[in-house]
Amino acid sequence: MKILVTGGAGFIGSNFVFYMMEKHPDYDIVVLDKLTYAGNLETLESVMKNPHFKFVKADIADRDAVFDLFEQEKFDVVVNFAAESHVDRSIEDPGLFLTTNILGTQVLMDACRKYGIGRYHQVSTDEVYGDLPLDRTDLFFTEETPIHTSSPYSASKASADLLVQAYHRTFGLPVTISRCSNNYGPYHFPEKLIPLIISRALADESLPVYGTGENVRDWLYVEDHCAAINRILEDGREGEVYNIGGHNERTNLQVVKTILKQLGKPESLITFVTDRAGHDLRYAIDPAKMMNELGWQPTTTFDEGIRRTVEWYLDNESWWKSIISGDYQNYYERMYAER
């Protein structure tokens, strides 16, 4: 089995690479990543010398580069993690998100059609469903929930999902889609909420929290997400959407306070800032389809996952400090300048 993992130098993509190489050591895995600000080649350092692993620097929207790679490697499966994914950045520059998240997806699927890929899997997000009211804790996103996007980011991901479904119906491309809740864990890019709070709290800096911190997210430990995608690749039905959630709903303020308690830092570090434009109120996923059809369920509670995550950041300060300083962006040149 040869798998192409796009965006594999990012947070969830890299964790998926580690999970699959441990779970299926005989699989060949090729990572394609553009190494934008969120892609960090240092993350993959532990697998770079594995004979079953290969890294390629390229843009999924670069048709020639993608088709050349497919011609060379003859992939069996493609898992597309590659995406611009930060909501605030999408508000500043929507065009970049449309190019990568929609046109890049089209290029990948065109290559899959030409070279006869056995499965194309699109990694999406629960944000395509919009949000739920804070006072209706009985409501959850299911696979039948209508798409109702709030930001350029979520609109671009929803557009990609619709395109994937269209390629399945029109061309018969064997596809699956997963929509996950907020992930957290090792190698999470430091501008995201949980690693941002950890790094700033360790430095005793103020901790910015949007609005009143009452927005609710369903948190999923990244390894549980990787296990779910593996199950979809193994037994998921072609053309289907699968929601992946952790049943770990917390307000943003609760998340911040949990991290502060874990670190032994005071809540006085919390600073409330002007809310994000179009900020979704609540996300909550019903993963019943994954559980009933594929026998998957999350195994990591939020408290246990946060403990592991905080410990990882304490043990790997050089990784995230390199990102904060910007030095990680020179790693590719350092690795390959003499090759």
- The predicted model gives 122-145 an average pLDDT of 90
Summarised one tens digit per residue, pLDDT across range 27-85 is 999 999 999 877 889 999 999 999 999 999 999 999 999 999 999 999 999 999 998 87
Q: Is the sign of the CA dihedral 300, 303, 308, 312 positive or negative?
A: positive
- Is 90 exceeded by the pLDDT of residue 167? yes
Instruction: Note the pTM of the prediction, 2 decimals.
Output: 0.92
pLDDT at 86: 67
Q: Is 127 a catalytic residue?
A: yes
- Per-residue tokens: 201: 């709290």
pLDDT at 274: 83
Between the alpha carbon of residue 99 and those of residues 13, 153, 154, the distances in Å are 19, 11, 14
Contact 228, 242 (CB under 8 A): yes
Q: Is 153 a catalytic residue?
A: yes
Closest by alpha carbon to 20, among 77, 85, 60, 69? 77
* Exposure of 242 in the CB half-sphere (CA atoms within 13 A): 29
- Measured distance CA(303)–CA(279) in Å, rounded: 25
Spell out the residues 6+ positions from residue 129 whose beta carbon is closer than 8 angstroms to its own: 141, 145, 146, 147, 148, 179, 283
Give the N- to C-terminal CA distance of the chain in Å, as an integer: 28
- Measured distance CA(199)–CA(325) in Å, rounded: 12
pLDDT at 327: 65
**DSSP state for residue 75 in the 8-state scheme:** -
- Is 90 exceeded by the pLDDT of residue 298? yes
Q: Which of 127, 218, 224, 286 is catalytic?
A: 127
- Residue 329 banded pLDDT, cuts 50, 70, 90: low
Q: Is 126 a catalytic residue?
A: yes
- Measured distance CA(41)–CA(57) in Å, rounded: 10
pLDDT at 247: 83
Summarised one tens digit per residue, pLDDT across range 256-294 is 999 999 999 999 999 998 877 777 788 889 999 999 999
Q: Which of 84, 126, 161, 218 is catalytic?
A: 126
Torsion of CA 107, 109, 115, 118, to 10 degrees: 150
- Per-residue tokens: 4: 């192409």
| Location of structure tokens 């930001």 | 151
Spell out the residues 6+ positions from residue 310 whose beta carbon is closer than 8 angstroms to its own: 198, 259, 262, 263
pLDDT at 90: 80
Q: Which of 120, 153, 187, 332 is catalytic?
A: 153
- The predicted model gives 131-152 an average pLDDT of 88
Summarised one tens digit per residue, pLDDT across range 202-224 is 999 999 898 889 888 899 999 99
3-state helix, strand, coil in the chain (%, to 5): 50, 20, 35
- Residue 304 banded pLDDT, cuts 50, 70, 90: very high
- Residue 336 banded pLDDT, cuts 50, 70, 90: very low
Summarised one tens digit per residue, pLDDT across range 85-98 is 767 778 888 888 89
CA triplet 36, 38, 43: central angle to 5 degrees?
105
| Location of structure tokens 């590719």 | 332
- Angle between the N-to-C axes of helices 317-325 and 193-202, in degrees from 0 to 180, rounded to the nearest 10: 100
